Structure 1
């Protein structure tokens, strides 16, 4: 599957922009309990000037007046204090609105107040965000630009200004750790700007889609998917332009940035689109040049609402704690410098509920020594029935049993021949629409049917010929051994045969033991049967005319 179409330049939509065209609705303003700004009045200050300076709107002078006892707006007393409440600051033009939060994300205001970040909060200059390893936040700027803060990141919103009259944005973010990804709206006015600073470099743009990563004590990187980014090295002031498809890295104390092509997107063509376990498990081929991978997952058609994100050192990604539904996963490789490569997106459908019951008997790999196998499983809460399949092959291409609605938590399967079988069971509940809702099957469990061999041993003798016969099944081969002692220390006779009888000649008279080892049609080699005893006799006529057996005992005729 190709990458989802992209919104950035107006022709293609990026994978992130699937839901960008949807209106976000009116933002609820949250007061984050910050300390107000306290302005020490200087000679010449007016409420009009202070409203413009702090609230970017001189018309807010009346609100300032009300908060400060209605002083004369044009004759403020030098040395007095004008309080600018946090609530007014968060209503001014600019700032950032929280449009999505998942996992653990906390904010800290410029005055040190902290709390859990919530959707629809407004953030302003000086606020900080900190995400847990699986946390994620999406921010919308006044000009429509979108900033996504990945897990294990620390971001300061240094400057979030926007001039309503001139449609001019001035955004400056400081990334101390982790990663942010930005889709910046094209900013035509020459004075508009969008910049992400790190301790090692600054990345500035005027409309593009790019990411910035900061590895503590290691390197700062930027990767560009759309447009162009200008990097400025903090140590030397040297600049470099990074075009789409390239990445730039600045190591600690490096005087210049190193540019390199982005890694190719990983190959997810072999990933199972249907996931039937609560933990989504996606394995894919390792990507050449990648030392780790970053992965995101979000509900289909809501690209900004990332449900989970992670970084892994192996080409296997797992997500837990998600409800059943349709999702999109995005994965990219990360090279040795920390530059993140091109992403690939892939649709995933999670259908893991109702979860299958736990199988009880036969145990996996267990042996059944009769033609009937009783399959048992745990009773599932809320179940209105169960579905059951039994097959000779693990793929269940031609099930011998295919029951769609069993009421009990066990089922007897009869008429089985020796061989390997696989079985699985699923739960059926009543869905929200009142119709049966069938969950996925359990993992296949194998059991073996091994009907007894040699349980009915026959022996007949005619003259010098002794015929042994036994019971078995079609397709079996047999190793038959005859010995004088029950421990089979010395083998008197041995034969391999596909028949279920053996004619022996010239066995001396006496007591013998026989045991049989069967090899089933599927190649399974059984243990030897329990030794069974039989006797061979020989008759001879003595010199006195009487009949005697081979061991000298006289045979009395009727």
Structure 2
């Protein structure tokens, strides 16, 4: 896996990576070298059979005998290499199919779309933060990272064998290839400028180039890598090793790839928009390359990034089963073996945004109102309540068609969460668990006017555990939006100097500190109608309007 941005320089334009198979286990079609198709002999092969299978005419065996200096055309040694001139192999037009597109990508100036068929000479551009994957007729997959520009210079197939004949020229960027995964071998698979890569049966490799040179890392199989100036001096590179070609054309010795990082497991499923992934640091790593693929073959990259630290953040991943892939980068920029961790993203339909109660709210009384924002196209919602954040104690879940609900809850701490249902009545992921604390209902005050003073009493009780007393408020309107007078007391009664005649409202809340409690902590407002007061000759109070002294007044 690699989708590092790559570029090219003329100095490395002649670099050649030639992938060469060895051993009878992988005999058969083995790609090309120069102007020749390379075939590694299998048991029972003959020159006449090879000419019939690949060449324009069966008589071509004579040319093969001369070119390859074969003494007996009927007895070929398994594992030896037979050169067949590409000019003698008939070809037919072929196509490639777009199997994956992310972000901005175009073909000949038009938007690239999944399922699109590409023909020879197609010009492809992959924009920033984008990616695409092509598939050839033999199952070969070519993953194209961001900021890549290329042209499909040749897209054909060997007419008689069906082997692919593909040449891709990269102007800038890179390509990662899984060549002929079905094991049938390839005719020609070449990526040129700055690297020319010859495909082989069942091999997976990565190539990249930038201003510092070119690199190749072998993931599966065995390959030979040679610099363009000395193509005959290929170095055998086994799986788990990589090499580099400098801008001067110097080929490095094979270097062991860094081990795969141990990737930490992710929560299942991931329901948040952004997810932080972590892995154990790899000794000797200069950095890390991390990506997320949506297929088990790791060819369709929905996100990639590089990090200097053993962690990365991916944002807005698609729903579904995904694969996190992390490789350590050596100081030579060789990408090491990959650590892979599968995980699932499940975010649709999204959980609704909660409005009431606010997080860590304190409610008073048994009834608690819940309200949330509507989710587009949601067919309904579920509200879950429990006495613990794991929703295992006293848990209750109830379906709601609207965006609000009322629940009667006992005194204590509660957690609540929401999820949405789509048009097919399938639920999405649960939202975050939010805590709400329910305290006893506030005491209801009973005001009494005796003409001399206003006395207010309320039931004395233990109240909330943290209560330190009571707060009494008096105002001229039931919303307490005007002039509000606030009194504090540690008793369950309070005498207030009698105000002028008029209508007033009082309410009481338990105090838990020096701050004035929230409006929701107060009792329902109690209305007081104070009449004008006259006194007789002895100074006794006369309450006008027929009211008697000591009358208790009711609630609004």
Bin for the TM-score computed over the shorter chain? 0.5 to 0.7
Cα distance, 1:203–1:404 mapped onto 2, change above 3 Å: same
Q: Who is 1:151 aligned against?
A: 146
Map 1:164-203 onto structure 2 (within 5 A): 164-165=159-160, 170-185=165-180, 192-199=187-194, 201-203=195-197
| 2:275 equivalent to 1:281 | yes
| 2:420 equivalent to 1:423 | no
Secondary structure of 2:180's aligned partner: coil
Distance in structure 1 (CA, Å) of the matches to 2:229 and 2:116: 38
Cα distance, 1:92–1:155 mapped onto 2, change above 3 Å: same
Deviation at 1:244, TM superposition (A): 0.9
1:303-343: CA deviation from partner (whole Å, max 9, x where unpaired):
58736232242633525363x4x423241324043323333
Number of aligned positions between the proteins? 377
Q: Who is 1:64 aligned against?
A: none
Q: Find the partner of 1:440 among 408, 412, 429.
A: 429
Q: Who is 1:292 aligned against?
A: 288
Map 1:245-256 onto structure 2 (within 5 A): 245-253=240-248, 255-256=250-251
Contact 1:250 1:257 in 2 (8 A): yes
Cα distance, 1:259–1:97 mapped onto 2, change above 3 Å: same
User: Any stretches of 5+ residues in structure 1 without a counterpart?
Assistant: 1-7, 10-55, 59-90, 109-113, 457-468, 481-499, 502-516, 519-525, 531-558
Secondary structure of 1:274's aligned partner: coil
Map 1:233-244 onto structure 2 (within 5 A): 233-234=227-228, 239-244=234-239
Contact 1:266 1:331 in 2 (8 A): no
1:91-150: CA deviation from partner (whole Å, max 9, x where unpaired):
962554124241332234xxxxx43345342332x5442212344333344555332323
Cα distance, 1:229–1:359 mapped onto 2, change above 3 Å: same
Q: Which has the higher contact order (CA 8 A, sep 6+)?
A: 2
| 2:400 equivalent to 1:406 | yes
| 2:92 equivalent to 1:98 | no
| 2:379 equivalent to 1:379 | no
Cα distance, 1:286–1:269 mapped onto 2, change above 3 Å: closer
Q: Find the partner of 2:216 among 217, 222, 225.
A: 222
Distance in structure 1 (CA, Å) of the matches to 2:276 and 2:403: 32
Cα distance, 1:155–1:244 mapped onto 2, change above 3 Å: farther
Q: Who is 1:472 aligned against?
A: 462
Distance in structure 1 (CA, Å) of the matches to 2:361 and 2:158: 75
Secondary structure of 2:300's aligned partner: coil
| 2:387 equivalent to 1:392 | yes
Q: Find the partner of 1:209 among 200, 203, 211.
A: 203
Contact 2:360 2:436 in 1 (8 A): yes
Secondary structure of 1:173's aligned partner: strand
Map 1:15-414 onto structure 2 (within 5 A): 93=92, 95-103=94-102, 104-108=104-108, 114-118=109-113, 119-124=115-120, 127-141=122-136, 143-160=138-155, 162-165=157-160, 170-185=165-180, 192-199=187-194, 201-234=195-228, 239-253=234-248, 255-277=250-272, 279=273, 281=275, 283-288=277-282, 289=285, 291-298=287-294, 303=297, 306=300, 308-313=302-307, 315-318=311-314, 320=316, 322=318, 324=319, 326-335=320-329, 336-400=331-395, 402-414=396-408
Q: Who is 1:16 aligned against?
A: none
Distance in structure 1 (CA, Å) of the matches to 2:514 and 2:182: 84
Cα distance, 1:351–1:168 mapped onto 2, change above 3 Å: closer
Distance in structure 2 (CA, Å) of the matches to 1:137 and 1:381: 30
Instruction: Tell me the TM-score normalised to structure 1 length.
Output: 0.56
User: Any stretches of 5+ residues in structure 2 without a counterpart?
Assistant: 1-20, 23-54, 58-89, 446-458, 470-489, 492-509, 517-556
Distance in structure 2 (CA, Å) of the matches to 1:150 and 1:448: 51
Deviation at 1:274, TM superposition (A): 1.6
Instruction: Tell me the TM-score normalised to structure 2 length.
Output: 0.56
Secondary structure of 2:421's aligned partner: strand
1:525-545: CA deviation from partner (whole Å, max 9, x where unpaired):
x42588xxxxxxxxxxxxxxx
Distance in structure 2 (CA, Å) of the matches to 1:177 and 1:268: 31
Secondary structure of 1:309's aligned partner: strand
Contact 2:132 2:145 in 1 (8 A): yes
